[in-house]
A and B are shown apart, each in its own frame.
Chain A
Amino acid sequence: GNSVTQMEGPVTLSEEAFLTINCTYTATGYPSLFWYVQYPGEGLQLLLKATKADDKGSNKGFEATYRKETTSFHLEKGSVQVSDSAVYFCALSDLSNQGGKLIFGQGTELSVKP
C-alpha cells in the first residue's frame, strides 16, 4: 500500500542554520505531495504542496521538490528561526486510493534554539 517515511526527530538546530527534513514515499499512481506543520497546541496547517513530478512547492522560505525518480519530497529552509519550531508532516494524496485520502508520515519535531 501507499506509505510515507520521514526522518526521525527531534531535530535540534541553532537559529539561521540550514534545515533538511527527508521524506520518501511509496505509491501507486501519481500522488500529490504535501508538507504540513503543527505548532504546539494547534491543528495542522498546509505549508506547501506539489502535484506533479519536478514541481517545487514553496512558502515562508521553505521549499520541497517532487522527485519521482527518487520518490522523495524533502523539505528545506536556508535559515531557520526560533518561530519555526514545530512538528512537520509529509503526506501524500492519491485519488486512486479511495479518493483523495491523505497518508501521513509520522512527523518530525524541529526545535530551533536562539
Chain B
Amino acid sequence: RKEVEQDPGPFNVPEGATVAFNCTYSNSASQSFFWYRQDCRKEPKLLMSVYSSGNEDGRFTAQLNRASQYISLLIRDSKLSDSATYLCVAPDGAGSYQLTFGKGTKLSVIP
C-alpha cells in the first residue's frame, strides 16, 4: 500500500499562534487530498479537501506541492477548540477509491 507520512507531534502552541503541519505522500499519481480532524476517541471529520494548488477556509489553509509530494495545513489564530489530531489522507492512485490515512499530527492549543 502507498504511504502517507506525518510528524506525530505533539505540537503545543499558545492561543492565537499560527501552526503548520506537513504531510508527505508516496504515490505521485494521487490527484486529490484531504485533511480530517479527529478528536480523542471520536470519528474523523472532514476538514478540508485539496484538489489543486491549495484551498483556504477561514483560518485554515491547505496547500499542495506536487513536485515535492507534500501537503501542508496552516492554522492561523489558533483556538483552544482546535486541539485535536489532524489526519492527512491521500488516495492510492488517480482513480482509486482507496484512501490511505496518515497516523495523524496531534495539536494542543494552550491558554
Does A pair with B? no
B contact residues vs A (CB 8 Å cutoff): none
Chain A contact residues, CB within 8 Å of chain B = none
